Amino acid sequence: MRPITTPRLTLLPLTLPIVEAAMTDRAALAQTLPIYLHDGWPGPDFKDILPFIAETVRANPSYSEWVRLIAHRADNLTIGSIGFKEPPNPTGTIEIGYDIVPEYWGRGYATEAARALIEWAFTQPGVKRVTAECLSDNAASIRVLEKAGMRQLAPEGDMLKWEMLRV
């Protein structure tokens, strides 16, 4: 499994040992990672989905490629996570999600990571459409999704829906 690199970031696949350590043992996680572990990672939202990621990776180890740690290259530090909520569905659609530790907000890291992961996804067989959603009052995520090149669709209640099609 290869990392994805950008000018400032490395997106590392979330392997089963990393996911299991993130769920149970921070000290083991710090020893498992090839980079320093930020005190704020994993954040509360990402912690909640770690059991699902672990279950999915156990059943399909290649899913590790679809969910990744965001490593700040200059600081050699985990600053977030990004990935697709599930492998591509039969229509070729996948939904992206991401989080960045607060100390690194507002510097374009989420946009840089989203662009890189979406670009990678569109090189994978069968992926035709990337979707996302965010709350209508989440100005930061709205900016990330716009800058990543996604198109806003009709909202559903308080949720804004987004998509990008493979060209």
Separation of first and last alpha carbons in the chain? 25
| pLDDT higher than threshold 90 for residue 31 | no
Question: Band of the pLDDT at 124, cuts 50, 70, 90?
Answer: very high
pLDDT at 44: 87
Q: How far apart are CA 31 and CA 155, in angstroms?
A: 43
Question: Where do the structural domains in the chain lie, given as residue ranges?
Answer: 4-165
Segment among 22-26, 49-53, 124-128 with least mean pLDDT: 22-26
Helix spans in the chain (H): 16-24, 26-32, 44-59, 109-121, 139-147
Task: Return mean pLDDT, the chain.
Answer: 95
Summarize pLDDT for 36-66 with one digit per residue, the tens.
999 999 988 889 999 999 999 999 999 999 9
| pLDDT tens string 75-123 | 999 999 999 998 899 999 999 999 999 999 999 999 999 999 999 999 9
Tell me the backbone φ, ψ of residue 112, rounded to 5 degrees. -60, -45
pLDDT tens digit string along 82-92? 999 988 999 99
Q: Which helix (H) or strand (E) holds 128?
A: none
- Average pLDDT for residues 123-141, to the nearest whole number? 96
CATH of 4-165, one of 3.40.630.30, 3.20.20.70, 3.60.15.10, 3.30.750.210: 3.40.630.30
Q: What is the pLDDT, as a whole number, of residue 73? A: 96
Distance of CA 63 to the CA centre of its chain: 12
Res. 167 pLDDT band, cuts 50 70 90:
confident
Global pTM reads 0.94
